[in-house]
Amino acid sequence: MPKPLRIGTRGSDLALWQARKVAELLSQRAGADCQLVIIHTSGDRDRSRALHEVGGSGFFTKELQQALLQREVDLVVHSLKDLPTQEPEGLTLGAVCVREDPAELLLARPAALGDGPLGLKPNAVVGTSSLRRTAQLLALQADLQVKALRGNVPTRVRKLREGEYDAIVLAYAGVHRLGLDLSDLVARKLPLEVLLPAPAQGALGVEVRADDTATRNLVACLHEPLLAQEVEAERQVLVGLGGGCHIPLGAYCQAQNGSFFLRAALGTLRPDLSLVSLVRSEARAATPQEAAAQVLQVLLGKALS
């Protein structure tokens, strides 16, 4: 009997769902026998501060990468949007796969509904700790009161129910994957014109050791080349802006008839999180790199001028 493949994952419900999905696909497609290994990350320990305050990238991924480098596990599964664009020496992205609808979900308490552009009442208190969400929400409705919100997906929903917020915004992917019962709340998927997701939102990244040819070959059956190119365009915009989850950048790319249609929105916020500006850009190009370069030209040009 070959030894089971050890899959490193965070212990949150969503991370476990995603790791089990990868295990299931590896079993179906490659007959692999997998075992999940739960690894605690700094993101799991520090639940109070906003991610941009903690600084540094890899808040949810560094410990997973260390375990992989130290050969405690054979592969790790990430929400690709949490994975820094710069791969550490010795590691490589073996597969990009399983993208859920990348849209954002607005969850509101019924009492918070109103005539505003988001369907909320004036001055509604909206929970998010994401600068990207903050900038785009304020561009749409300037009187919103954005209030910090952290924690795993079920925790965030609980905090909304407890009345600390009128509404919260989170990735549709996470809520959908967990199959949460939201019947007492108003759930509205936000159109991409309203709120662009984080680069790679909804997609999974499977990281392996660069020198582990056996595992690299095995996880190749998960890889979705077209999705990888779409995500590449989104992540290249982030790279061009200096990288990191503290940049208020939304980006989403769709392959359409052999070309890549990339949309992005870059916010500038004051330290008190009020909005200075939101710049949008979109491009259609033959390659993900070209699409990213065109979008960057506009974002950087406008930001610098």
Pairing of strands 145-147, 249-256: unpaired
**Residues in region 231-260 near ligand PBG by CB under 6 A:** none
Q: Segment contacting ligand PBG (CB under 6 A): 21-29, 115-123, 168-176, 250-258? A: 168-176
Helix (H) or strand (E) holding 265: strand 259-269
> What number of chain residues touch ligand PBG (CB under 6 A)?
10
Annotated active-site residue in 74, 82, 166, 212: 82
Q: What is the spatial distance between Cα 79 and Cα 82, in angstroms, rounded to a whole number? A: 6
Q: Minimum distance between the CB of residue 263 and ligand PBG, rounded to whole angstroms? A: 17
Q: Segment contacting ligand PBG (CB under 6 A): 25-33, 142-150, 171-179, 285-293? A: 171-179
82 as an active site residue: the answer is: yes
Nearer to ligand PBG, 201 or 215 (CB): 201
Helix (H) or strand (E) holding 230: helix 225-240
Strand partners, 207: 76, 93
Q: Minimum distance between the CB of residue 170 and ligand PBG, rounded to whole angstroms? A: 3
Q: Helix, strand or coil for residue 38?
A: strand
Q: Minimum distance between the CB of residue 40 and ligand PBG, rounded to whole angstroms? A: 16
Contacts of residue 305, defined as CB under 8 A and 6 or more positions apart, other chains included, come to none
Q: Residue from 9, 61, 65, 79 that binds ligand PBG (CB under 6 A)?
A: 79
Q: Minimum distance between the CB of residue 290 and ligand PBG, rounded to whole angstroms? A: 25
Q: Say how many residues make up the chain.
A: 305
Q: Confirm or reject binding of residue 81 to ligand PBG (CB under 6 A).
A: yes
**Residues in region 120-159 near ligand PBG by CB under 6 A:** 153
Quick one: tokens of 134?
Answer: 């903050």
Q: What is the spatial distance between Cα 180 and Cα 161, in angstroms, rounded to a whole number? A: 13
> Mutual orientation of helices 153-161 and 13-30 as an angle, nearest 10°?
140
Q: Minimum distance between the CB of residue 96 and ligand PBG, rounded to whole angstroms? A: 12
> Where do we find the tokens 């609808």?
101
Closest CA to 222 of 88, 93, 33, 71: 93
Q: Residue from 57, 201, 215, 236 that binds ligand PBG (CB under 6 A)?
A: 201
**Residues in region 82-111 near ligand PBG by CB under 6 A:** 82
Q: Residue from 174, 199, 244, 248 that binds ligand PBG (CB under 6 A)?
A: 174
Q: Residue from 108, 173, 208, 247 that binds ligand PBG (CB under 6 A)?
A: 173
Angle at 244 between CA 296 and CA 13, to 5 degrees: 125
DSSP state at residue 2: P
DSSP state at residue 120: B
Angle at 86 between CA 82 and CA 130, to 5 degrees: 30
DSSP state at residue 86: S
Q: Segment contacting ligand PBG (CB under 6 A): 25-33, 166-174, 220-228, 290-298? A: 166-174
Q: Residue from 91, 96, 170, 237 that binds ligand PBG (CB under 6 A)?
A: 170
198 in Cβ contact with 81 (< 8 Å): yes
Q: Minimum distance between the CB of residue 107 and ligand PBG, rounded to whole angstroms? A: 10
Q: Segment contacting ligand PBG (CB under 6 A): 66-74, 109-117, 140-148, 167-175? A: 167-175
Annotated catalytic sites, by residue? 82
Binding site for ligand PBG (CB under 6 A): 79, 81-82, 153, 170-171, 173-174, 201-202
